[in-house]
Amino acid sequence: MAEKTSVFKIGKKYFVRCLTYHYTGELVEVTPTELVLKDAAWVADSGRFADAMAKGTLSEVEPYPDDCRVIINRQNIVDAAEWNHPLPRVQK
């Protein structure tokens, strides 16, 4: 049986909800066990989720440094969605 390719696409921006944290970032690598993001931010509070997804507004954001790659264990992902907004790069 052929192995299924990932639904995650390199170069796309994502909002990733994990068991305890949320992240935004541009996907640069997918491995069997991890996602790797650049221009990433930890989202402590998304605010109203529908507004966050529709308008790109987030209540509390902590960006990682520009040169930092963030590695997310795929087993901790609850869900993910494409982020169709500028990535948050300012602490809020």
CATH class assigned to 14-82: mainly beta
pLDDT of 68: 97
Of the CA atoms within 13 Å of residue 17, those in its CB half-sphere come to 9
Alpha carbon separation from 29 to 5, 8, 69, 89 (Å, rounded): 13, 9, 10, 20
Give the 3-state secondary structure of residue 39: strand
Give strand pairing partners of 70: 37
Q: What percent of the chain shows pLDDT beyond 90? A: 91
pLDDT < 50: residue spans in the chain? none
Give strand pairing partners of 42: 23, 62
pLDDT of 16: 98
pLDDT of 2: 53
pLDDT of 6: 84
Given CA atoms 14, 17, 22, 28 in this order, what sign does their dihedral have? negative
* Domain regions of the chain by residue span: 14-82
pLDDT digits (tens, 9 = 90+) for 14-37: 999 999 899 999 999 999 999 999
Alpha carbon distance 16, 63 (integer Å): 14
* Cα 37–Cα 77–Cα 21 angle in degrees, nearest 5: 75
